[in-house]
Amino acid sequence: MENKPKPTGTKEWTSINANIARGCEHNCRYCYAKHMALRFKRIKTADDWLNMELKHDCVPKHYSNKNGTIMFPTTHDITPSILDKSIVFLDKILKPGNKVLIVSKPHLECIASLCGKLKDYKEQILFRFTIGSYSNNVLKFWEPGAPNFQERYTSLMLAYSKGYKTSVSCEPLLDIHAVKLFNLLKPYATDSIWLGALNKHKQRVNKDGWGTVEYKFLKKAMKAKHPDSVRYYYKILKDEPLIRWKDSFKKILEIESLTEIGMDV
């Protein structure tokens, strides 16, 4: 029998990705897209990643109804500088009836605008906000250009209060406070809260010039994905209807991995 590779990363959620820009102002230290851009020489230095540029053909003339949920974006974020074009793009892909998973480290200004402008498509949209810690120190270290915890939390509350379907990705989980984080987020998530590990930091995180402080943050993230920590989260959260485990944690917990791309469970 053929041994199919198990879906990991964004493939656990959706099979179709959409992006309108290159680079990302959030400049996360663990960014997979930045790592790939450097590896394939699409950018010369890591700092080039900060220069977010719209693709010239970012809004297609026609967009068809796809078979499956579209995840937008996957290799950048929706920041105020590309908000207008993001709304035009989303309108284009929602119009033919597509379902869209909007993934973001959310700026309140952007979420307020999306909620207002896309209200006719509410039933087709699921928001997924990335929140890997409630500590602003931790978030600032790993995701220096992204909004702080309060702004992400308020964005989640806003989307929820406007009647949108909401979910949270606590991946990468950046410290061990997963249970408290889950309980903070739970009242405003209607769909799911995902826990998952910081993956492949040896390849993806540039540690040039690091000292004690930087390694302390790495140690927190390593502790967050230690098998004992993951088993503890599982013990406390396993019966929560909203909890979902990313593949990195499923392996530790010996939960069966997904068999198909985009199952989002």
**Interface contacts to ligand SF4, rule CB under 6 A:** 24, 26-28, 31, 33-34, 75-77, 105, 143
The least distance separating ligand SF4 from the CB of residue 64, rounded to whole angstroms, comes to 26
Nearer to ligand SF4, 19 or 234 (CB): 19
Longest CA span, the chain: 52
Nearer to ligand SF4, 24 or 230 (CB): 24
The least distance separating ligand SF4 from the CB of residue 67, rounded to whole angstroms, comes to 26
Nearer to ligand SF4, 33 or 159 (CB): 33
The least distance separating ligand SF4 from the CB of residue 51, rounded to whole angstroms, comes to 12
Cα–Cα dist 109/32, whole Å? 26
The least distance separating ligand SF4 from the CB of residue 2, rounded to whole angstroms, comes to 32
The least distance separating ligand SF4 from the CB of residue 130, rounded to whole angstroms, comes to 7
Nearer to ligand SF4, 131 or 237 (CB): 131
The least distance separating ligand SF4 from the CB of residue 205, rounded to whole angstroms, comes to 12
Nearer to ligand SF4, 75 or 237 (CB): 75
Nearer to ligand SF4, 26 or 107 (CB): 26
Q: How far is CA 218 from CA 138, 195, 205, 227, in A?
A: 10, 17, 10, 16
The least distance separating ligand SF4 from the CB of residue 245, rounded to whole angstroms, comes to 20
Nearer to ligand SF4, 237 or 246 (CB): 246
Find residue 168's DSSP bridge partners. 129, 193
CB-based contacts of 198, cutoff 8 Å, min separation 6: 30, 172, 173, 174, 221, 222, 224, 225
